[in-house]
Chains A and B, each alone.
Chain A
Amino acid sequence: MSIVTSEVKHPDATPGSTDLARVTALELVDVWKYFGAAAAVAGCTLSVADAAVVGLIGPNGAGKSTVADLVSGFKHPDKGRVLFQGRDITGLPPYRVARAGLVRTFQIARVWPTLTVMENALVAAPDQGREVIWKAFLTPRKLRAAESADRVRARSLLEEFDMIGLKNDTAETLSGGQKRLLEFVRIMMAAPRMVVLDEPMAGVNPVMAERIVAGVRRLNAAGITVLMIEHNLEFVEEVCPTVVVMAVGAVIATGSMDELRRHPEVIGAYLGGLAGGE
């Protein structure tokens, strides 16, 4: 496992954390989240190795999306801890979690509709003190020079994802699949250490599926750890060597899809849907 994380500067990241940080990107320790009296997440414990691609599956209501919210700071656990790169991020607001290097996507592709594809990419890049109002008036040239590096990077990423021809189109004109690709471009622009993808295949035309698969692989090739919530099990099997299964708010099994197919508890949770094949 390569230790190159120090190359990317994250304002909120604390250097010199424990050795554990180098092997474990994300760790949930006995995390609970209640909605009223019902526990959506009930004692969830899981860990994601650095630079891994991990799938998170489970029947509806298993608490997968709540886990994504808890990890990214959009919801806060009632009990338990969330560790990112060995650092306790429990209770941090979402923008602080993101600045620490953990970015997420949502079930619905959340692009900024009236911004152009290019602007979408640029807003996703780390701020680096550019979004300070007075700089636009007092040092506009310096600001433009600093921006141009981001623009160059955005163009090459858009080219790589076959979207350069759309760069000046507003994001609202894109198809569902293109919006997902734009999300990958935005993640690449943000250059996080880890990303949580919440159902990246949702709303994507099957024709685009291959490009989504390539997108996930591309993120991982850039050294980004991936935790992917997904319903499409074929897709999960294709890209995730390790898969975590959740049911009723807790992890019931971890392993490769092959192993999980033979796992009695997993079969039970899915009522045979997994073993029966698609």
Chain B
Amino acid sequence: MAYIVSVATSTAIFAIMALGLNVTWGFGGLLNLGFFMFVGVGAYVSAVITLPGAMPPYTSYILGLSMPFPVGALTAMLVAGLLALLIGSVALRRLRADYFAIVTLVVTAILAQVVNDQRTLFNGSIGLYGLPQPFADILNTDADTYSYFFLGMCMVIVVAVFWFTRRLQWSPYGRALRAMREDDRAAMAFGRNAYVYKLKALVIGSAIGGLGGALAAHFVGVWTTESWTIGEALLIFACIFLGGTANNFGVVLGTIITAGLFQELTRFLPQIPGYPDAAAALRWVIIGFLLIIVLYVRPRGIIPERHDRDPAPLPAASTL
């Protein structure tokens, strides 16, 4: 049972991240290959806000404020959003998809290297350990009950993020953003500054990613540079492609299938003697195959994007 709760919790956290990426990629059409950078930054920021001060020479990191988790999570969102604003204001200037994708990828690689090498920042390659469990001091329960509480908290956040991004998608802003995803020149010809709209989408999506990162770090209790590799970033894209780009229901379903079922079920595959890594590698192969099959059969995902329906009835003598 504890295992199932743990899988459900990590799936919920992945769903939060995927819903965030869906704002930038699904609604805004921004191929944000650096999405996991914002997740990672959120994780680190929340960690150093909630952890007690570093103890050199054993550990070395900035801040260490021993603040409660909500402060850490909110700061994580804020910093991730600000970083997105900074990167986006440069990378989105030209409004070219390839340019943006490459810049985000490169910045992620550079930042990962800096965090890894600069021990004074987030304890370098050793990473941050012993992150406090959110609200554990107030609840004061046993580990089993606490795991249910943490799952519940993640579920509530999934619902909140789901509601927020859904409303965003169908708002006038979201409609203009979706138009720019298709053709930003045409949107500019109708008086919209596509750069600003897309920058906002990037900031919102990244802030949600930062929140997901904070949750992930406190769930595991550990965060290192190993935790954010290109693999995780692609996994979240896989969740979206599989379930249905720009459809929140699809994104959550895609996350359950990819992050939940396939990541975890393959653990039960029989061990191949002499190849201890086979199961882990096979997981990626299966996800890859699944993705190819779905994209072939349903190019827009299992549950494709929905369309706004104008509620007014058609006039009786409609000629078409």
Contact = CB atoms under 8 A, between A and B. Distances in A.
A170 interface: yes
Contact of A131 (B167, B172, B186, B315): B172
B189 A98 contact: yes
A210 to B, nearest CB: 15
Interface in B189-225: 189-194, 197, 200, 204
A13 to B, nearest CB: 12
Contact of B167 (A103, A130, A136): A136
B278 to A, nearest CB: 41
Interface stretch (A50-58, A113-121, A268-276): A113-121
A165 B179 contact: no
Contacts of B186: 106, 110-112
A133 B312 CA distance: 25
Interface in B147-192: 164, 167-168, 171-176, 178-179, 182-183, 185-192
A124 interface: yes
Name the interface size band of chain B: 35 or more
**A93, A105, A110, A147: residue with the most chain B Cβ atoms closer than 10 Å:** A110
B305 interface: yes
A123 B190 contact: yes
B161 to A, nearest CB: 13
Nearest to A170: B307
A240 to B, nearest CB: 22
Contact of B185 (A110, A159, A167): A110
Interface string A111-151: 11111101110111011001111011100100100010001
Contacts of A126: 191
Name the interface size band of chain A: 35 or more
A21 interface: no
Interface string B275-297: 00000000000000000000000
Given A112-B178, A147-B172, A159 B189 contact: no
A115 B190 contact: no
Given A110-B183, A164-B315, A119 B175 contact: yes
Interface in A160-187: 162-168, 170, 186
Contacts of A140: 167
Contacts of B319: 162, 165
Nearest to A146: B172
B314 interface: yes
Contacts, number: 131
A114 B177 CA distance: 12
A164 B320 CA distance: 8
B310 A72 contact: no
B308 A116 contact: yes
A136 B320 contact: no
A163 B191 contact: no
Nearest to A113: B182
Nearest to B178: A115
Contacts of B94: none
A123 B171 CA distance: 11
A221 to B, nearest CB: 21
A147 B204 CA distance: 24
A249 interface: no
Interface of A: 72, 74, 93-95, 98-99, 103-106, 110-116, 118-120, 122-124, 126-127, 130-133, 135-137, 140, 143, 147, 151, 155, 159, 162-168, 170, 186, 190
Leading 10 A-B pairs by shortest Cβ distance: A136-B171, A165-B320, A98-B191, A110-B186, A94-B188, A112-B182, A112-B179, A99-B191, A131-B173, A130-B172
7 contacts: A95-B192, A98-B189, A115-B308, A116-B308, A136-B173, A151-B312, A168-B310
Given A106-B185, A123-B175, A132-B173, 16 more contacts: A74-B188, A93-B193, A95-B193, A98-B189, A112-B183, A114-B305, A119-B308, A122-B175, A123-B187, A123-B192, A127-B176, A130-B172, A151-B312, A159-B315, A164-B320, A168-B308
